[in-house]
Structure 1
């Protein structure tokens, strides 16, 4: 392990920034900004480097999140978080995998920037209230109140059932096969009755402009895939700590699809086709809740 605290904690800093921003590129920029500030201080005088670095990355992420929130108001179509390629090992840490899932990041989008920062630091990274207070420049009492409000808000919206990676992979494979072959009945069998499909093309590629709700509507949409994209291949990959799907067209990644699975059936489909959000899926990113 490196003697440089920044190098030691880099994966943690990236994870904090990504969960706050829902964007790989912006998270990497924030981590770089944190390094520049770290390089500019007298490091021997920093009593707790980890706390200092987390505080710095949080402040930088908050500043950027406020800008992104305004920018997303003008986004074309549905906005989804930028998917993150991970290895299967992330699923071993159930809490980490849930916290970086597209479903959870989508829920976190409904919080204010300050609520999101507090929730991420407290619920995911178990950061002490006084450290969070220093990071967001509020009193510990105010942080506790914000944390309670954010916790209630998220609890009312997060997926309620946890399934094993084996169950997830089985449902993902059934969906993959049904989409590839245009098997309408196969799709109906794996989709929950109340399934919701959301697509993000960013106005750059064709995509659903509004969510599609209900098994029959979603199944009919997916069953037409072989006809509208002949030659495309549906494959498997790991995204955000869970089994997922990828669609390749003409040898290039065309879409990344994250899923929420409950009781063996798919309840949410998040399809990201915006090419800007697919550009960093070449290699898996290292995530950490500790260092």
Structure 2
């Protein structure tokens, strides 16, 4: 492997992590990194004094270009949009804090705010480097990051459950959801629980978030009665975007993931992914 190839491979995880946070799609993130690889190979060895800065700039600008079309697609997206799930150890290669709540908070930012915040606050680039990457002045980049920081701070989970708490609540939720145990559901869901789901208009899923214990229980019980899991369904506990969750498969094909957000000993949010396009990576 050449030195140029080695430099790129050393940066691959960081670049993929940056692109995933920018785009909310692992598949799109990998496409961006592949495009960055093509551009990197077009640079003469030793020509770039700061390879990390060069690659960050390439990936960021490729993501900003993709976000233009992505935003247009999301305006006509059927139902709620959720990021493509990252399951099990995959999140370790992409860096910390990949929670769905965090990614949804990023979605509410403008593309430039998102880029400035991620580059400085998550990937520790000085504002001088951020300014070069975005083609803006340092003061403007500081303002972009500051605005983003306030929005993201409001959306990030503040509670850190213990491993025992995660195991107990995730196992109980799986049991309750599959068996239709209403009393068990009421014992583990928070009063202000929110159920999110993404079917992408391809498969059935609630189109809008469902908030509150009573509505959540009615929805989950209704799903159990009207759409019971098909015979041959298997379920396993997993890490989804670094949080506890469940992966459901039928005949070896993943058809649903459920990520849980836990707060104060209860399940505060459930993020259900049913869109097969966003689950394709798990079946490849």
1:243 Cα deviation from its structure 2 partner: 2.0
Gaps of 5+ in 2: none
| The 10-residue stretch of structure 1 (107-116 or 167-176) with the greater mean CA deviation from structure 2 | 167-176
Task: Please report the TM-score for the alignment, with normalisation by the length of structure 2.
Answer: 0.92
Distance between the aligned counterparts of 1:104 and 1:145, measured in 2?
20
1:119-170: per-residue Cα shift (whole Å, max 9, x none)?
Answer: 1111111111111111111111111111111101111222222223432232
Q: Could you tell me which residue of structure 1 aligns to residue 80 of structure 2? A: 78
SS in 2 for 1:56: helix
Distance between the aligned counterparts of 1:90 and 1:164, measured in 2?
19
1:251 Cα deviation from its structure 2 partner: 3.9
1:41 Cα deviation from its structure 2 partner: 0.9
Task: Say whether 1:104 aligns with 2:106.
Answer: no
1:89 Cα deviation from its structure 2 partner: 7.9
Distance between the aligned counterparts of 2:203 and 2:91, measured in 1?
32
Distance between the aligned counterparts of 2:91 and 2:152, measured in 1?
25
1:215-238: per-residue Cα shift (whole Å, max 9, x none)?
Answer: 122122223444322434432122
Distance between the aligned counterparts of 2:222 and 2:92, measured in 1?
33
Structure 1 residues 146 and 155: alpha-carbon distance in aligned structure 2, compared to 1, 3 A threshold? same
Q: Could you tell me which residue of structure 1 aligns to residue 116 of structure 2? A: 118
| The 10-residue stretch of structure 1 (196-205 or 248-257) with the greater mean CA deviation from structure 2 | 248-257
Contact 2:85 2:278 in 1 (8 A): yes
SS in 2 for 1:76: coil
Contact 1:261 1:267 in 2 (8 A): yes
Contact 1:236 1:243 in 2 (8 A): yes
Q: 1:213 aligns with which of 211, 214, 222?
A: 211
Q: 2:125 aligns with which of 124, 127, 131?
A: 127
Distance between the aligned counterparts of 1:112 and 1:86, measured in 2?
29
> More relative contact order in 1 or in 2 (CA 8 Å, sep 6+)?
1
Contact 2:80 2:207 in 1 (8 A): yes
Distance between the aligned counterparts of 1:165 and 1:140, measured in 2?
41
Q: 2:15 aligns with which of 13, 29, 32?
A: 13
Contact 1:88 1:242 in 2 (8 A): no
Gaps of 5+ in 1: 284-291
1:83-135: per-residue Cα shift (whole Å, max 9, x none)?
Answer: 112318839x9xx432x111111111100011111111111111111111111
Contact 1:180 1:225 in 2 (8 A): no
Distance between the aligned counterparts of 2:161 and 2:132, measured in 1?
37
Distance between the aligned counterparts of 2:121 and 2:168, measured in 1?
30
SS in 1 for 2:155: coil
- Structure 1 moving runs of 4+ over 6 Å: none
